[in-house]
Amino acid sequence: MQKIGKLFIMAILLTGIMNTAIVGKDKVLTGYNEKIQFDNLTPEYIETTTQKTMDDLDKKLSNIYSVPVEMRNYDNTVLAYDKAVDGLNTVWGTFYLMANSHPDDATRNAADKAIVTFAKYGNKISLDEDLYKSFKEYSKTVEAKLLIGYQEKFLRETVRDFERNGFALSKEKRDGLKEIQDRLAIISNEFSKNISEYKDFLIVTEEEIKGLDDDYKNARRENDGTYKIDLSYPSYRPFMRLSESNDARKRLQHKYLNRAADKNLVILEKLALNRKELAEHLNYNSYAEYIQETRMARNPETVWEFEQNLINKVREKGKLDYEEVLAIKKSHTGDDTAEEVYNWEYSYYSNILKKENYQVDNEEVKKYFELGNVVDGLFKITQALFGVEYKKVENPSVWQSDVTMYEVIDNGKIIGRFYLDLYPRDNKFGHAACFGIQNGMKTDEGYQIPTVALECNFPQPIDDVPALMSHSQVNTFFHEFGHVLHNMLTQTNLSSFSGTSVSRDFVEAPSQIFENWTWDYESLTMFAKHYETGEVLPKELFNKMVAAKNVGSGIATLNQIFYGLIDMTIHDKYNANEARTTTDIVKELQSSITFTPFTEGTNLQASFGHLNGYAASYYGYLWAKVYAQDMFSVFEEEGILNPEVGKRYREFILAQGANEEPMELVKKFLGRDPNAEAFYRSLGL
């Protein structure tokens, strides 16, 4: 997941580099290509820098407005705008990361407040008539009409997005649009904050935790001999898979599926209502229609057709998956009359299925994936593929003591920096995502170094107990590092087109492709070693993992479709003023798409964070995977560790960012038109 949060200025995600006019030395952002000094971050710094940053951009935009019509050119209008907004977005990116990861409440809250302020300011810029006139004036010049490549694309898309933001409307209606956008900035930020700050847990007995190993139990044991199970991934997922207590799993899942429901059910309705109002204000039938106009899909009809075609293709496999798990439930409960597998049972019986029918013990598999070894393996593979080196920075300035920092070296030059923040803690972003801080771009001083942070929630080593990852977590790590690479290896001239600033329904493809390296034995032998003996993952165990890989692939894909259609329904076929609630929508869709029955009293949509950053775009996960698997087929054919293929992939996909349309980049890499054959093969169809 590439975390979305950058200012939506004319619907283009702009991220940026540091601006020395905004901040000085001995502060947090210290200057051109210098390391960020997170140690100096304070609530007061955030507050003062927020205002200074906006004041600075106001001055730079004023310079663009004042250029006489006859003197307008690409450099003093288009390029000047890209550079100006870039500086603001680096400050924003830093504060957005801090709002999602800083351990200090006051600092985190100050950063959270700054995000809302920047979002409102971005709304003002998106409705700035003087700025629109500047671009429109330039677009009519002879020079503008002769632009080609990324320059023509950026000018065209910027004018288009201004007009999508209301410049076909009257001044009065534009003012009304700004009011809607300002409300959305506050509401959407509140939705995300409620999820990240939500806390709950389940206290279980020794009997109820039976099935979990000693390491898991020791990390959660209370003084009275009970166990405290929180709702973070490292706690929740193993418990749902391994606890022999059906009742405890049911109670834990009920809590998990009601995260933030006390606040976010109402806020989600407000989000949907305001997004619908925004779309209709701009003469679109729905928010989905408004959003998807600029995506690869182009319109909701294409997305609905895509999702329905997938349902038709995988439903039979999903039914077989479900019946396989149901059979395991019957055999283990002795209840031959059982007709359903409930949500809180599925992971448990699916795990037993893999153990008994495919001889895959996930707890045994974990012993071969010690986190340090996984990091080393990921680094070796990607460094070899793309001809770069990662150098660990000693004693870096970071926001949390266990965060590490690396520089990406190419031919002796630093071309990027990334942070790894791998372990869970209170008030931290609860999933795994790549947070952009600053983008790469060409400047008069040289090429600006992109910087990102990878926020994860993997098991943490405790005393002498190593951090052992499930294969699923390894898969997630490789996926998210794909986003890191997309940002690190960018070579775009414009900040606005840097790295992951691609179409939202393509952005996951360069990350999803890297999941495949966790399923290749040659790749795994580089790092999958038993944490006690050093033994490489046995080929026999790997073969069992592969055999079990597509167990449940139909169900998993149907679940992704289910989530995608929750998003699509809320943003294309729902009015918050109607009698039907968002919970009704979830219930209807779960009943028609998946095989596990809806659990009454749960509200999963309240903690479905993608309804914010990926609003009307969640379909993009499966959409992008079609392209990811097609591109991976080239590595399969020519060598999964082949540096020549890696070089081509880096050149045609990673380096280009949004310089060209995604479809054209994919065609160049493939040397042909893309198709879905590799995607369906990956599901075992």
pLDDT tens sequence across 1-36 = 776 544 434 433 333 333 333 444 458 887 899 999
Please report, as a single letter, which amino acid is at residue 305. E
Asked whether residue 305 carries a pLDDT value surpassing 90, the answer given is yes
Query: Measuring CA to CA, which residue among 128, 204, 141, 218 is closest to residue 171?
Result: 128
Asked whether residue 57 carries a pLDDT value surpassing 90, the answer given is yes
Taking only the tens place, the pLDDT of each residue in 447-502 is 999 999 999 999 999 888 899 999 999 999 999 999 999 999 999 999 999 999 99
Average pLDDT of the segment spanning 359-368: 93
Residues 6+ positions from 370 with CB-CB distance below 8 Å: 466, 467, 468, 469, 529, 531
Tokens found for residue 611: 């309804």
Average pLDDT of the segment spanning 573-588: 95
Instruction: End-to-end CA distance of the chain: give it in Å, rounded.
Output: 26
Q: What is the largest CA-CA distance in the chain?
A: 84
pLDDT at 685: 85
Taking only the tens place, the pLDDT of each residue in 227-275 is 999 999 889 999 999 999 999 999 999 999 999 999 999 999 999 999 9
Tokens found for residue 126: 């998106």
- Return residue ranges of the chain for CATH 1.20.1050.40: 2-195+263-292
The band of 90, judged by pLDDT with boundaries at 50, 70 and 90, is very high
The band of 576, judged by pLDDT with boundaries at 50, 70 and 90, is confident
pLDDT at 3: 62
Is 480 one of the annotated active-site residues of the chain? yes
Tokens found for residue 407: 């520089």
CA separation for the pair 253, 251 (Å, rounded):
6
Average pLDDT of the segment spanning 429-442: 94
Taking only the tens place, the pLDDT of each residue in 309-352 is 999 999 999 999 999 999 999 999 999 999 999 999 999 999 99
168 CB neighbour count, 10 Å cutoff: 12
CB contact at 8 A, 209 and 222: no
**Rounded to 5°, angle at Cα 303 from 299 and 309:** 145
pLDDT at 9: 42
Task: Please report, to the nearest 10 degrees, the dihedral formed by the alpha carbons of residues 626, 632, 638, 642 taken in order.
Answer: 160
pLDDT at 663: 96
Q: What percent of the chain has pLDDT over 70?
A: 96
pLDDT at 544: 93
Average pLDDT of the segment spanning 651-668: 97
Any idea which architecture 2-195+263-292 has in CATH? Answer: Up-down Bundle (1.20)
Angle of the 620-638 helix axis to the 300-333 helix axis, nearest 10: 80
Task: Please report, to the nearest 10 degrees, the dihedral formed by the alpha carbons of residues 188, 192, 197, 201 taken in order.
Answer: 120
Phi, psi torsion values for 444, nearest 5 degrees = -65, -25
Asked whether residue 169 carries a pLDDT value surpassing 80, the answer given is yes
Judged by phi (left if over 0) then psi (alpha if -120 to 50, else beta), residue 532 lies in alpha
Instruction: Kindly report the average pLDDT of the chain as a whole number.
Output: 94
| Full-model pTM | 0.85
**Integer-rounded Cα radius of gyration of the chain:** 25
Distance (Å) of CA 239 to CA 213, 411, 427, 467, 598: 10, 47, 21, 17, 20
The region of weakest confidence among 96-110, 115-129, 658-672 is 115-129
CA separation for the pair 609, 16 (Å, rounded):
24
Q: What percent of the chain has pLDDT over 90?
A: 88
Please report, as a single letter, which amino acid is at residue 355. K
Return the SS3 of 360: coil
519 CB neighbour count, 10 Å cutoff: 17
Return the SS3 of 417: strand
Length of the chain: 685
Query: Measuring CA to CA, which residue among 489, 494, 493, 487 is closest to residue 413?
Result: 489
Query: Measuring CA to CA, which residue among 655, 677, 679, 681 is closest to residue 668?
Result: 655
Taking only the tens place, the pLDDT of each residue in 520-542 is 999 999 999 999 999 999 999 99
CB contact at 8 A, 393 and 406: yes
Query: Measuring CA to CA, which residue among 482, 519, 465 is closest to residue 681?
Result: 519
Asked whether residue 660 carries a pLDDT value surpassing 80, the answer given is yes
Distance (Å) of CA 2 to CA 292, 582, 595: 18, 26, 30
Tokens found for residue 302: 């294409």
392 CB neighbour count, 10 Å cutoff: 11
pLDDT at 613: 80
Return the SS3 of 210: strand
Active-site hit among 480, 508, 515, 660:
480
Tokens found for residue 411: 């031919």
Residues 6+ positions from 209 with CB-CB distance below 8 Å: 217, 227, 229, 239, 243, 245, 248
Residue 202 bridge partners (DSSP): 229
510 CB neighbour count, 10 Å cutoff: 27
Asked whether residue 615 carries a pLDDT value surpassing 70, the answer given is yes
Task: Please report, to the nearest 10 degrees, the dihedral formed by the alpha carbons of residues 503, 507, 509, 511 taken in order.
Answer: 170
pLDDT at 365: 96
CB contact at 8 A, 402 and 505: no
3-state secondary structure 260-317: CHHHHHHHHHHHHHHHHHHHHHCCCCCHHHHHHCCCCCCCHHHHHHHHHHHHHHHHHH
Tokens found for residue 142: 């002879």
